[in-house]
């Protein structure tokens, strides 16, 4: 096993055994990035020098026997919509191309305190709006399994970085599937925690009531390790939950007894790719072989998820992105006639098409005369979707489903058809709308040698159950051990 394909837990064990140093690991990651990122385009910026400095400092502490954090010496990549001092946070937008935040996001503080090595900022769809990382203003991230294919999105850079061997761990954000979908496309583990489990302070807002930061990793154990490092109440985010954070890694190996796995029957019929359907069925079979009971669940309002999502998310986005007006920071147009024109020109020149499309959708939905018909109605449907899950979880412990209807599509395949792209969010948006945790675990390969993920969902704050159930599956399969080349 090479350094760049090892998991964080394996690397920690090796460092503790004195077999490898953090500097060597970090240098190996940087070398791999140098070798291959030109064709993958996972990173928007690299902090190689400071990463190596941090690595050497951790090595010194480890040698001196000083106390070390949970992730001491492990390289971690950050999606470039998470603020960290010392480098730009661009959100893959011309608007923030030169923006360097004066503060660290809450999770960045946590990572630094855990002695993690922050190696670079990863590519995304502009302001996290998209499902393919094709909406980045700077570059398109390719899928490490097949560079003609999309890495998924919006956290495509982070998923690709973990998949390609650039970093064992990465952070992303998930508003409608932006962690789980690229994880599924790239064959890695991606987890969206319960809304409020992780502080959003320092995450550049897309849709505040849906956004949640979460881990990318090469297996469930690493995802658990990273989640327990970043989760917990933060006074600066009043939507963060004041609930104790379990040690997720501790009882991960204990299987859940009498596990009831819910599955959705009717969704399987609509436009689901054959390979995805097969992988999902095989995963259910694995659970059954482990003694779990399979129970069909009804989510009557699931078919309204995408419509609801594409009203609520753009509405909040239209408000959250209004601050980028060229007045205080960010891009300002060179030529303008007056104040209003300065706003219009700055925003018109610096935002990409997808961002503009969503700002217009959201502005419309919140406008006087339309608010009740769109935004308010969407909020009501959201409540019904949440109720569906509450009822389903009375009967089952977790719900298993595909992550996406198809494996990774080709770059450019859907760019002219935003609606088709939106509809692919059918399995993922419900977790954001109802605030529940969800994880994508590697669960198969398509005939075209592209990874396929399995999505597991659990009730709010049941990440421990989610991870243990996922680990049960992972132990029986070897999909998570496959690496692209």
Active site residues: 79, 154, 178
**Residue window 177-216: x/- pattern of binding to another protein, with contact defined by CB under 8 A:** -----------------------xxxxxx-xxx-------
**Distances from the Cα of 447 to the Cα of 189, 451, 456, angstroms:** 21, 10, 23
Task: Considering the complex, state which of residue 337 and residue 485 has its C-beta at the smaller distance from another protein.
Answer: 337
Cα-Cα-Cα-Cα torsion 348, 419, 97, 170, nearest 10 degrees, comes to: 160
Q: Which two tokens stand for residue 248?
A: 């997720």
Task: Considering the complex, state which of residue 53 and residue 319 has its C-beta at the smaller distance from another protein.
Answer: 319
Task: Considering the complex, state which of residue 73 and residue 460 has its C-beta at the smaller distance from another protein.
Answer: 460
Return phi, psi of residue 70, to 5°: -60, -30
CA atoms within 13 A on the CB side of 243: 16
User: Tell me, what DSSP letter sits at residue 256?
Assistant: P
Task: Considering the complex, state which of residue 325 and residue 463 has its C-beta at the smaller distance from another protein.
Answer: 325
| Least distance to another protein, CB of residue 125, Å | 16
Q: Is 316 among the residues that bind another protein (CB under 8 A)?
A: yes
- Nearest by Cα to 395 from 261, 302, 286, 284: 261
HEC secondary structure over 327-379: CCCCCCCCCCCCHHHHHHHHHHHHCCHHHHHHHHHHHHHHCCCCCHHHHHHHH
Q: Is 91 among the residues that bind another protein (CB under 8 A)?
A: yes
Helix (H, G, I), strand (E, B) or coil at 443: strand
Task: Considering the complex, state which of residue 366 and residue 403 has its C-beta at the smaller distance from another protein.
Answer: 366
Among 44, 83, 359, 452, binds another protein (CB under 8 A): 83
Stretch that binds another protein, among 316-324, 402-410, 416-424, 425-433 (CB under 8 A): 316-324
Q: Is 336 among the residues that bind another protein (CB under 8 A)?
A: no
Q: Is 96 among the residues that bind another protein (CB under 8 A)?
A: yes
Q: Is 239 among the residues that bind another protein (CB under 8 A)?
A: yes
Stretch that binds another protein, among 26-34, 140-148, 315-323, 401-409 (CB under 8 A): 315-323
Task: Considering the complex, state which of residue 194 and residue 315 has its C-beta at the smaller distance from another protein.
Answer: 315
Among 69, 99, 387, 415, binds another protein (CB under 8 A): 99
Q: Is 338 among the residues that bind another protein (CB under 8 A)?
A: no
User: Tell me, what DSSP letter sits at residue 388?
Assistant: H
| Least distance to another protein, CB of residue 470, Å | 29
What's the start-to-end Cα distance of the chain, in Å? Answer: 14
Do residues 169 and 75 make contact, with C-beta atoms less than 8 angstroms apart? yes
**How many residues sit in the footprint of another protein (CB under 8 A)?**
43
Q: Is 235 among the residues that bind another protein (CB under 8 A)?
A: yes
Instruction: Give the span between the Cα atoms of 298 and 47, in whole angstroms.
Output: 47
Q: Is 339 among the residues that bind another protein (CB under 8 A)?
A: yes
Q: 60 CB contacts (<8 Å, ≥6 apart)?
A: none
Instruction: Give the span between the Cα atoms of 380 and 383, in whole angstroms.
Output: 5
Instruction: Give the span between the Cα atoms of 172 and 159, in whole angstroms.
Output: 8
| Least distance to another protein, CB of residue 196, Å | 10
Q: Is 85 among the residues that bind another protein (CB under 8 A)?
A: no
- Site for another protein, rule CB under 8 A: 82-83, 89, 91, 96, 99, 101-103, 105, 200-205, 207-209, 235-239, 315-316, 318-319, 322-323, 325, 327-329, 339-340, 343, 363, 366-368, 371, 375
């Amino acid at each position: 096993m090479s350094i760049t394909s090892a998991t964080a837990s394996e690397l920690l064990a090796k460092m503790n055994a004195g077999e490898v140093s953090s500097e060597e690991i970090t240098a190996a990651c940087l070398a791999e990035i140098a070798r291959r990122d030109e064709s993958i385009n996972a990173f928007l910026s690299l902090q190689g020098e400071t990463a190596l400095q941090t690595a050497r400092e951790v090595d010194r502490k480890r040698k001196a026997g000083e106390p070390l954090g949970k992730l001491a010496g492990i390289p971690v990549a950050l999606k470039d919509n998470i603020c960290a001092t010392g480098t730009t946070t661009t959100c893959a937008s011309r608007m923030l191309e030169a923006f360097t935040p004066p503060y660290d996001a809450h999770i960045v503080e946590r990572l630094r305190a855990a002695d993690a090595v922050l190696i670079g900022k990863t590519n995304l769809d502009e302001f996290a709006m998209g499902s393919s990382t094709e909406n980045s203003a700077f570059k398109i991230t390719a899928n490490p399994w097949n560079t003609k294919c999309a890495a998924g999105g919006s956290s495509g850079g982070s998923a690709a970085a973990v998949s390609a061997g650039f970093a064992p761990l990465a952070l992303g954000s998930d508003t409608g599937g932006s962690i789980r979908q690229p994880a599924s496309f790239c064959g890695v583990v991606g987890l969206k925690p319960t809304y409020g489990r992780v502080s959003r302070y320092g995450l550049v807002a897309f849709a505040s009531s849906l956004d949640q930061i979460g881990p990318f990793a090469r297996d469930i154990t690493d995802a658990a390790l990273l989640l327990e490092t970043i989760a917990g109440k933060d006074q600066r985010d009043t939507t963060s939950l004041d609930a104790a954070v379990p040690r997720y890694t501790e009882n991960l190996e204990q299987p859940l007894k009498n596990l009831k796995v819910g599955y959705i029957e009717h969704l399987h019929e609509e436009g689901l790719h054959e390979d995805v359907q097969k992988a999902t069925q095989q995963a259910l079979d694995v659970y059954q072989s482990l003694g779990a009971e399979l129970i069909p669940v009804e989510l009557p309002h699931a078919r309204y998820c995408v419509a609801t999502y594409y009203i609520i998310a753009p509405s909040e986005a239209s408000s959250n992105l209004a601050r980028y007006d060229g007045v205080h920071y960010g891009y300002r147009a060179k030529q303008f006639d007056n104040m209003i024109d300065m706003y219009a020109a700055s925003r018109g020149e610096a935002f990409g098409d997808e961002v503009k499309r969503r700002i217009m959708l959201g502005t419309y939905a919140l406008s006087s005369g339309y608010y009740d018909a769109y935004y308010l109605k969407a909020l009501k449907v959201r409540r019904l979707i949440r109720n569906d899950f509450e009822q389903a979880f009375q009967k089952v412990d977790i719900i298993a489903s595909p992550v996406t209807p198809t494996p990774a599509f080709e770059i450019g395949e859907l760019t002219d058809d935003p609606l088709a792209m939106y509809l692919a969010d059918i399995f993922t948006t419900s977790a954001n709308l109802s605030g529940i945790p969800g994880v994508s675990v590697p669960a198969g390969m398509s005939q075209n040698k592209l990874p396929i993920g399995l999505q597991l969902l659990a009730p709010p704050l049941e990440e421990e159950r989610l991870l243990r159930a996922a680990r049960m599956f992972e132990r029986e399969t070897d999909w998570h051990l496959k690496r692209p080349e």
